[in-house]
Amino acid sequence: MFQEFINYLHFEKRCSEHTVTAYQTDLSQFQDYFEIKFITELNELNSLTIRSWVVHLIDSGLTNRSVNRKIATLRTLFKWLRKEGIVNSNPMAKIQGPKNEKRLPIFAKESELEANKLSEMYDNDFDGLRDELMVELFYQTGIRLNELINLKETDVNDQHIKVLGKRNKERLIPISAMLFQQIQEFIIEKRKLVGETKFLIVLKNGNKLYPTFVYRKINAYLSQATNLDKKSPHVLRHTFATHMLNRGSGLETLKDLLGHANLAATQVYTHNSFAQLTAIYSQAHPRGR
């Protein structure tokens, strides 16, 4: 039954593989806690029993954000179960999660990502060209990990890249002439090595990229360039957003570039930008200090 739900997420809701894996992990922990083996047992679960699982998660040391993600998984599950007629009531209606901690996005400084500084890190071969392009696409466009992996050659022209985001929402992101030239140079080298491929960026053997490979590469390069505690593709997405705001981008524009469903998700970056504005003010205004 859980597998049918996973199939629903994958094929009907078209969730990313990363999201589906997170759902599977949450449901496996949920199933282990209650030792659910038969569909009939799901009807026996009520809000009190599910609250006991939430308390267990909090007591085990999980962050509020992680607990709320697991609660969101159950909300989606029971909504689907009701729709399919598998359960008679939805125990999640009375469940409230703990308040999320305010967590500001982590980002690199502009000086840490200067082009001439980064270029010294890459090898002068196919791997180096590919890795440099991955870093630049993350930083210059703010795309997500899954979006980069699924980017196709046909999604690129000299003005923009076409990205298929969450819930199959398509968006266009402008690119610079320099980035387009970098993409073209990589395609030429790629075709020399592995021939034509459907996806823009691939492994050395021509196979499609996979998340752990990209994460490992970005982590390694950010470790050389920055002193950040967290080093991931998503940090480069945060960096793109923060640097855009610092340079005068409006929130609505940034929202569209990032592919956010609503402005609230984008507003988290204003905290970082305000810190930048405060620093500029203190240096520029006669009484700022």
| Domain limits, the chain | 2-94, 110-283
3-state secondary structure of 67: helix
As a whole number, mean pLDDT of residues 227-246 equals 94
* Average pLDDT taken over every residue of the chain: 89
2-94 has which fold?
DNA polymerase; domain 1 (1.10.150)
Give the model's pLDDT for residue 220.
Answer: 96
Class of residue 192 by CB neighbours under 10 A (exposed 0-12, middle 13-18, buried 19+): exposed
Give the model's pLDDT for residue 166.
Answer: 84
Give the model's pLDDT for residue 11.
Answer: 85
Give the model's pLDDT for residue 167.
Answer: 78
pTM of the model: 0.70
Annotated active-site residue in 70, 237, 238, 255: 237
Residue 2 has pLDDT above 90, yes or no: no
Give the model's pLDDT for residue 48.
Answer: 87
Tell me if 2-94 shares its fold with 110-283.
no
Has 271 been annotated as catalytic? Answer: no
Pick from 45, 14, 21: which is nearest to 31 by CA? 45
Residue 38 has pLDDT above 70, yes or no: no
Has 260 been annotated as catalytic? Answer: yes
Q: What are 167's two structure tokens?
A: 């819930």
Annotated active-site residue in 51, 152, 166, 171: 166
Annotated active-site residue in 23, 139, 221, 269: 269
Give the model's pLDDT for residue 148.
Answer: 97
Residue 126 has pLDDT above 80, yes or no: yes
Q: What share of the chain is helix, strand, coil (3-state, %, to 5)?
A: 65, 5, 30
Residue 14 has pLDDT above 90, yes or no: no
Residue 131 has pLDDT above 90, yes or no: yes
As a whole number, mean pLDDT of residues 58-62 equals 90
Annotated active-site residue in 51, 75, 160, 234: 234
Has 109 been annotated as catalytic? Answer: no
pLDDT bracket for residue 100 (50, 70, 90): confident
Residue 64: Cβ within 10 Å count = 15
Has 51 been annotated as catalytic? Answer: no
Annotated active-site residue in 144, 190, 238, 243: 144
E strand intervals along 72-174: 160-164, 170-174
Cα separation of 283 and 109, whole Å? 18
Q: 110-283 domain in CATH 3.40.50.20?
A: no
Has 166 been annotated as catalytic? Answer: yes
Dmax (CA) of the chain: 72
As a whole number, mean pLDDT of residues 198-224 equals 96
